[in-house]
Amino acid sequence: MSKNLEISKLLDFYGILLTDKQREIAEYYYNDDLSLGEIAENLDISRQGVRDSIKRSETVLFEAEEKLSLIGKSEILKNSLEAIKRNITAISVENEMYNNSAISHSTEKILNELEKLSEI
Amino acid sequence: MSKNLEISKLLDFYGILLTDKQREIAEYYYNDDLSLGEIAENLDISRQGVRDSIKRSETVLFEAEEKLSLIGKSEILKNSLEAIKRNITAISVENEMYNNSAISHSTEKILNELEKLSEI
């Protein structure tokens, strides 16, 4: 069982699929970097209980990504939104020559949509 | 227990979270419109077994959307991609006046990204 960034990311995406107790333990372990012993003491449960909970949570988290691929899709979305933004900026720069208000209006609208999508 | 489009959509998004058997039964029921009796006969299980499986699957599917909101997010994404496409088309139309190749290149790149995103 190794602590790593990947599981913190899985927790961000799929933590909601764990029970409240599993999530609490996993967040202590992966996000706050507490040891099994420290978590056991904090929650007044056995060290083995903490270990079992973390192993169970890892299984749920890895299976969720294997089935739903939300992290993979989120990367594709992020890269595409950045590419669109770069190209909109390029269009805006070119449009400075023409000062075409219809083009400015459209680039503005697209930037608003990109802003909206950066939050989903 | 009512058959409806909403559950077919939930099945598209979250069917992978069901067991193979649950998914098979739910697809017969919601996508192929078979009756409980017909499914029971096809699979050689009891009508009550079919009913229980469908109820269990509905719980999993509704909870998944409640927790992950993928259908809601997918709607937002779809609407935003359409808005971006409309505005790119407007830019292309305006650019016919200038025939600016840098703008054409950028609109082309953005359309490619939109194409990519329509598949995730």
**Domain of B76?**
72-117
The single-letter DSSP state of residue B41 is H
B81 and B63 share one domain: no
Instruction: Tell me: pLDDT of B116 over 60.
Output: yes
Cβ–Cβ below 8 Å for A68 and B73: no
Categorize the per-residue pLDDT at A103 as very low, low, confident or very high, splitting at 50, 70 and 90. Answer: very high
The mean of the pLDDT values for chain B is 94
A84 and A34 share one domain: no
B25-83: pLDDT as tens digits? 999 999 999 999 999 999 999 999 999 999 999 999 999 999 999 999 999 999 999 99
Alpha helices in A1-120 (DSSP H): 5-14, 20-26, 36-43, 47-68, 70-98, 101-117
B14 and B52 share one domain: yes
- The Cα B12–Cα A7 span in angstroms is 27
A77 and A50 share one domain: no
Burial (Cβ within 10 Å: 0-12, 13-18, ≥19) of residue B72:
exposed
Q: Please give, rounded to a whole number of angstroms, the shortest distance from the CA of A95 to a CA of chain B.
A: 8
- The shortest CB-CB distance from A109 to any of B16, B83, B109 is to B83
- The Cα A60–Cα A74 span in angstroms is 19
pLDDT at A3: 59
Q: Which of A77, A80, A95, A109 to mutate to test the interface with B (most CBs of B within 10 A)?
A: A80
B62 and B77 share one domain: no
B21 and B48 share one domain: yes
Categorize the per-residue pLDDT at A120 as very low, low, confident or very high, splitting at 50, 70 and 90. Answer: confident
The predicted model gives A28-54 an average pLDDT of 96
Cβ–Cβ below 8 Å for A94 and B73: no
pLDDT at A43: 97
Instruction: Tell me: pLDDT of B97 over 90.
Output: yes
Instruction: Write the CATH number for A61.
Output: 1.10.10.10
A22 and A39 share one domain: yes
Categorize the per-residue pLDDT at B22 as very low, low, confident or very high, splitting at 50, 70 and 90. Answer: very high
Cβ–Cβ below 8 Å for A91 and B91: yes
Please state the domain count of chain A. 2
pLDDT at A58: 96
The predicted model gives B95-105 an average pLDDT of 97
B13 and B28 share one domain: yes
pLDDT at A2: 54
Do residues B15 and B26 lie in contact, with contact meaning Cβ atoms separated by under 8 Å? yes
Is A71 part of the contact surface with chain B (CB cutoff 8 Å)? no
B43 and B56 share one domain: yes
A45-93: pLDDT as tens digits? 999 999 999 999 999 999 999 999 999 999 999 999 999 999 999 999 9
Q: Please give, rounded to a whole number of angstroms, the shortest distance from the CA of B40 to a CA of chain A.
A: 28
Do residues A25 and A55 lie in contact, with contact meaning Cβ atoms separated by under 8 Å? no
Interface predicted TM-score (ipTM) of this complex, two decimals:
0.82
Categorize the per-residue pLDDT at B120 as very low, low, confident or very high, splitting at 50, 70 and 90. Answer: confident
Cβ–Cβ below 8 Å for A87 and B106: yes
pLDDT at B113: 97
Q: Please give, rounded to a whole number of angstroms, the shortest distance from the CA of B48 to a CA of chain A.
A: 29
Instruction: Tell me: pLDDT of B9 over 70.
Output: yes
A60 and A101 share one domain: no
A59 and A10 share one domain: yes
Categorize the per-residue pLDDT at B119 as very low, low, confident or very high, splitting at 50, 70 and 90. Answer: confident
A48 and A86 share one domain: no
Q: Which of B70, B80, B93 to mutate to test the interface with A (most CBs of A within 10 A)?
A: B80
Contacts of B117 in chain A (CB under 8 A): 76-77, 80
pLDDT at A5: 72
The predicted model gives A27-43 an average pLDDT of 96
